[in-house]
């Protein structure tokens, strides 16, 4: 039986989440392009991060379905979503500030506690794998530095290295360019392109429109909790609904 593009990738059907009567995600049906760089854009409060949280198990949707590679993963715990092949970063970096850079990357795939982390810290293969991802993101020279002593941009790279340590097929990035200087934005964009060329799918929430339009293959626009447009960047940027909702014209 032939596997369809929908069965390969991540889709949502009528995904809905309300908070105190406010519908943050409103019957959102989205089919992301497997093997491509997808972007999710929209004005503040349009439901992008809540949508991410519903997909990755951080919060449970009220209704609707999340499917990944043909399987219903709706409401699964975050570690089970990660085990299915979906990794994610957060709008505000989630790192262990008093642990070293190397320890942070090792801890990223160790949900079973301190004892497991200590074992992995003495596993030469795991340590070298962690160092390999630190080299890949460009901060291997900082492996013995405590994470709290990194710049914010370097912390973003550290979080990405931790995501990659789990070897996800699909990577969801929540505002990777937020608060980052232009040089590091370029580095992150280059990494995303390289990793995509190696077969990883990306879904990126981002406010930096220049980055979105230059990086993405497919753009989904949210407004008031639901997708209002989608397509290639050149198509989306001229869509009247997008111009009204997102650009305010």
CA atoms of 83 and 109, how far apart (whole Å) = 10
pTM: 0.89
Residue ranges of domains in the chain, CATH in brackets:
1-85+169-249 (3.40.50.300), 96-167 (no CATH)
Q: One digit per residue, pLDDT tens: the chain, 249 residues? A: 334 444 578 999 999 999 988 999 999 999 999 999 999 998 888 899 999 999 999 999 999 999 999 999 999 999 999 999 999 998 878 889 999 999 999 988 655 545 555 555 568 888 999 999 999 999 999 999 999 999 999 999 999 999 999 999 999 999 998 888 999 999 999 999 999 999 999 999 998 888 999 999 999 999 989 999 999 999 988 888 888 876 555
Written as six digits, the tokens of 82 are 């990660």
CA atoms of 51 and 225, how far apart (whole Å) = 8
């Amino acid at each position: 039986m032939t596997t369809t593009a929908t069965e390969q990738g991540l889709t949502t059907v009528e995904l809905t989440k309300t908070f105190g009567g406010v519908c943050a995600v409103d019957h959102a049906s989205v089919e992301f392009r497997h093997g491509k760089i997808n972007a999710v854009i929209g004005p503040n409060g349009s439901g992008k991060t809540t949508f991410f949280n519903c997909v990755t198990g951080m919060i449970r949707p009220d209704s609707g379905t999340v499917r990944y590679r043909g399987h219903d993963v709706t409401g699964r715990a975050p570690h089970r979503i990660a085990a299915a092949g979906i990794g994610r970063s957060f709008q505000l970096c989630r790192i262990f500030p008093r642990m070293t850079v190397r320890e942070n990357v090792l801890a990223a795939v160790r949900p079973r506690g301190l004892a497991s982390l200590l074992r992995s810290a003495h596993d030469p293969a795991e340590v070298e794998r962690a160092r390999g991802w630190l080299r890949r993101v460009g901060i291997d020279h900082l492996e013995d530095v405590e994470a709290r002593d990194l710049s914010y941009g370097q912390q973003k790279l550290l979080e990405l290295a931790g995501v990659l340590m789990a070897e996800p097929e699909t990577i969801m990035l929540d505002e990777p360019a937020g608060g980052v200087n232009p040089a590091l934005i370029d580095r992150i964009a280059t990494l995303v392109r390289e990793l995509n060329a190696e077969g990883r799918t990306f879904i990126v929430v981002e406010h930096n429109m220049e980055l979105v339009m230059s990086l993405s293959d497919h753009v989904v626009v949210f407004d008031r909790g639901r997708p209002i447009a989608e397509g290639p960047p050149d198509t989306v940027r001229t869509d009247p609904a997008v111009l009204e909702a997102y650009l305010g014209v």
